[in-house]
Amino acid sequence: MDSEYDVIVVGGGAAGENAADRAVKGGLTAAIVEKSLLGGACSYWACEPSKALLRPGTALHAARRVPGSREAVTGQLDVPAVLAHRDEASSHWDDSGQAQWAEGVGIKVIRGTARLTGARRLWVTDDDGNHFTLTARHAVVLATGSLPVIPKVPGLHNVRVWTTPDATSTQEVPESLAVIGAGVAGAELAQAFARLGSKVTMLARGSFLSAFPEDARNLVAEGLRADGVEILEGVSPEFAERTDDGAVRLTLPGDRTLKAERLLVAAGRRPALDGLGLPAFGIEPHLLRVDESGRVQGLSWLYAVGDCSGGAKLTHQGKYQARITGDAIVARSRDELDADVEPWSRWARTADVLAVPHVVFTDPEIASVGLTEEDAWEAGIRVRAVELPISVAGAWQHAEDYEGWAQFLVDEDARTLIGACFAGPDVAELLHAATIAIVGEVPLERLWHATPSFPTVSEIWLRFLEAYGL
């Protein structure tokens, strides 16, 4: 094995793989050091398995909402078949296909745990405890992902908790499940397990899905409640203990208790930057900042992409950052790019601030992109919100009782869209149109010419422009 590569990526999740791929496509040599499965969290423990657990319930529910197909659907979810579908979606936790892809595109995969020991130099320990040094000629890219935040609840350390990988890879559906945290992971997994037969109770420190507009999160809360999920808002556990029968009992404010067979902690994630040797370079892991090209501030050779680099923790955004960073490293290796990076150029993560798409894959879904109304006012933008129910012919065709809500945010001076949020069944597929309108800064007068097909849910775009006054 060579000990020198142009680019060395630490962490082979979605972000790391894409950074290495772009470097190789640009003519550089690249290696990925990975301590677990190549493909990372998304492939084995996060997006793929969680969506595979959710999709069968969504499909069944959709069939029940259309007269004609409703009558044909008489059974319940087949739990073993759902779990088998999830196993398949997670490649049975086998990364050989991924390793084959990497080697095929010219990326060297090195199994082990890496830490920085000098500028462009890494110390790697493999699974057998062997050590070796790797040197990067141009750049080291950190793509080490994120770790769950475990809240400081007295007694919690004595209790066996599930974090999200335990929930997404389980082979058993618990009779009852308590969930600490009512963000995206908590909401999706609460619904998945409720539909698989668990009695689910969610504890939200603040509001359920607090990052989204109230009308959107109310629709999702209604959907979860219809599946039997109990949502307790403004509630954080005060104490946790193991019961004699191996279950978990939580003490809640007001001396209430909650007993559940399993306890899932989905209370947020933090960048996984410990143990990488960053303090020796004057960087406290929790203070790591990157510039628009993904370069760690203060170091010309160190970059970070994906969950570990701050910002939205989403696969597609990490991959976007990785494409930008990989190309920036290539450009700098050819002296085609200096320190300054133009916004919206191919070396700038401009969409990280202005156009991050985010889908909550519950049923109904939430799909949002761009600034929120609060962000816009804070940024000094004169924003107008147009909010309306998704009440178009396409919605009635989609489901008898279709209920949806949309919000469009317009920069009143530029007369362009700067944010959008949709809530309702299958709204995820409406999102990319909004992302394109925002990234392309398409004037509303031009959007007026983008005719949505009849009868599709996309007709909500026409209703928006009419409501806006065009």
Ligand X SMILES: Cc1cc2nc3c(=O)[nH]c(=O)nc-3n(C[C@H](O)[C@H](O)[C@H](O)COP(=O)(O)OP(=O)(O)OC[C@H]3O[C@@H](n4cnc5c(N)ncnc54)[C@H](O)[C@@H]3O)c2cc1C
| Rounded Cα gap, residues 146 and 151, in angstroms | 16
Rounded least distance, CB 192 to ligand NAD, Å: 11
Using CB under 6 A, pick the residue from 240, 272, 290, 376 that binds ligand X: 272
Judge contact between 25 and 155, C-beta under 8 A.
Answer: no
| Rounded Cα gap, residues 365 and 354, in angstroms | 22
Q: Which of residues 49-88 bind ligand NAD (CB under 6 A)?
A: none
Examine residue 204 and tell whether it contacts ligand NAD (CB under 6 A): yes
Rounded least distance, CB 50 to ligand NAD, Å: 6
Contact of residue 10 among ligand X, ligand NAD, none (CB under 5-8 Å per partner type): ligand X
HSE toward the beta carbon, residue 152, CA cutoff 13 A: 0
* Chain centroid to CA 149: 15
Judge contact between 111 and 127, C-beta under 8 A.
Answer: yes
Q: What string marks each residue from 27 to 66 as x (binds ligand X by CB under 6 A) or -?
A: ------xxxx---xxx---xx--xx---------------
User: Strand 262-265 to strand 269-271: parallel, antiparallel, or no bridges (unpaired)?
Assistant: unpaired
Q: What string marks each residue from 163 to 192 as x (binds ligand X by CB under 6 A) or -?
A: -x---x----------------x-------
Output the CA angle 380-385-387, nearest 5 degrees.
Answer: 160
CA distances to 99, 111, 125 from 129, rounded to whole Å, are: 22, 11, 6
Name residue 179's beta-bridge partners: 202, 264
Ligand-binding annotation for 268, yes or no, is yes
Using CB under 6 A, pick the residue from 61, 217, 269, 463 that binds ligand NAD: 269
Ligand-binding annotation for 185, yes or no, is yes
Using CB under 6 A, pick the residue from 11, 56, 57, 424 that binds ligand X: 11
Of 205 and 270, the one with the shorter C-beta distance to ligand X is: 270
| Rounded Cα gap, residues 346 and 432, in angstroms | 20
Rounded least distance, CB 227 to ligand X, Å: 18
State whether residue 145 is helix, strand or coil. coil
Q: Which of residues 311-370 bind ligand NAD (CB under 6 A)?
A: 313-314, 358-361
Of 126 and 238, the one with the shorter C-beta distance to ligand X is: 126
Q: Footprint of ligand NAD on this chain (CB under 6 A)?
A: 151, 180-186, 188, 203-206, 210, 236, 266-269, 313-314, 358-361
